[in-house]
Amino acid sequence: MHSEQQNNPLHGQTLEMILNHLIKYYGWENLAYHIDINCFKKDPSIKSSLKFLRATPWARKKVEDLYISILEM
């Protein structure tokens, strides 16, 4: 199982760590531009965004995919 995770860029990363990295990289406004969801647009916060992303698989996937894309740059 360990070898399966070696090439997984999300291994060991929590959703909160990923979100904090994206906010630091893009800022809320640019993050909302790249991922068009209200929790990034209207009064954004880590807490409300995490709640939404944990309950919404398609949005979480978009966040994870964006995170992976900036790691590959």
Domain containing residue 6: 2-71
Average pLDDT value over all residues in the chain:
91
- The per-residue pLDDT for range 42-71, each reduced to its tens digit, is 999 999 999 999 999 999 999 999 999 998
Give this prediction's pTM.
0.87
| CA atoms within 13 Å, Cβ hemisphere of 40 | 21
Query: CATH number of the domain that 18 lies in?
Result: 1.10.720.30
Per the structure, how many domains does the chain have? 1
